[in-house]
Structure 1
Amino acid sequence: MKMPRMSIILILALALSACGKRDRDVTLTRIKKTGNGPDEFAILPGKPLQTPEDYASLPAPTPGAANLTDPNPRADGIAALGGNAAALNSAGISANDGALVNHAVRYGSGPGIRQTLAAEDKETRRRHGRVNILRIGPNDDYTSAYKRQWLNATEEELRLRRRAIETPSAPPPE
């Protein structure tokens, strides 16, 4: 029995498309660095050198520590937006955030929560990677692993309105 010519062409086209490289997919949600080259976002220009008003006020040199000309983009961004850049250097929780932290830890918290979450995240993406064998279309590990946990904003807004909870940032109901 002869296969129709269009079926053969379709099978050949699918086989040829399966040979394409998946690494050419450029998305901003890709977690893994795929190349061996330098990371162009990791290179920061230094601040210009300035003569201090008093040489005695300069800090003592500390090998391996930051100096006055090292860029600090987070502090510079905070200062540019009118915030207090010194808040980055403080240890502990500021008085402004005390109520928020107390509310967040009302049911308890673990001392190594960041390490625990990192390990759980790695395990979730590893388990999901074994299940998703075909990987048809552009996707990344994070999106495919956590798609089932995404929240639907419209459904949540309707749920809150049914309970008579105000949602001031949402548009009025139609």
Structure 2
Amino acid sequence: MRVFALVIGMTALAGLTACGGDTQLMNIESGQDTPDEFAILPSKPLSMPPDLALLPQPTLGGTNITDPTPQADAVAALGGNPARLQDQGIAAADQALVAQANRGGTDPNIRATLAEADLRWRSGNRRRPLEALFGTSVYQRAYRPMALDSREEQTRWQRAGAITSTSPPPIVE
């Protein structure tokens, strides 16, 4: 009887604790129902400057000197210069790569173009009536002929003499 009462008590306690929740830490907009542990950033400690004339003038929408700057703090902790975080364009070492990639021009509507081509490809494949009725995705089935078998491709490259030092050992069947 004592065990039964203990089980009932533990169940009631678990039920009551499950009902509570701190909604301040939850990201309601994205539909997340658990606390977002990355939303909490500690602010920098307040300090009094030696001369009040050194304080920057407040600007509307500007930052506060006690606001957290996690990216700059991480760069500084790793020995980098946080002042260089601003976008400085393409590095000199990468300009040749970017020029080669852009040699045929760029399409600002590439996402829409690819989405249309994808829809045409998937629509061209025969759909089953239940998939059409319930609007399910036929993505995996539509692209199955284009899928690579990773083990088969690895074996093909190894037989061709390519060095695949980081690949896993072949499966022995």
Bin of the TM-score, shorter chain as denominator length? 0.3 to 0.5
- Of structures 1 and 2, the one with the larger relative CO (CA 8 A, separation 6+) is 1
Computing the radius of gyration from Cα coordinates, the structure with the larger value is 2
Structure with bigger helix share is 2
TM-score by length of 1: 0.45
TM-score by length of 2: 0.45
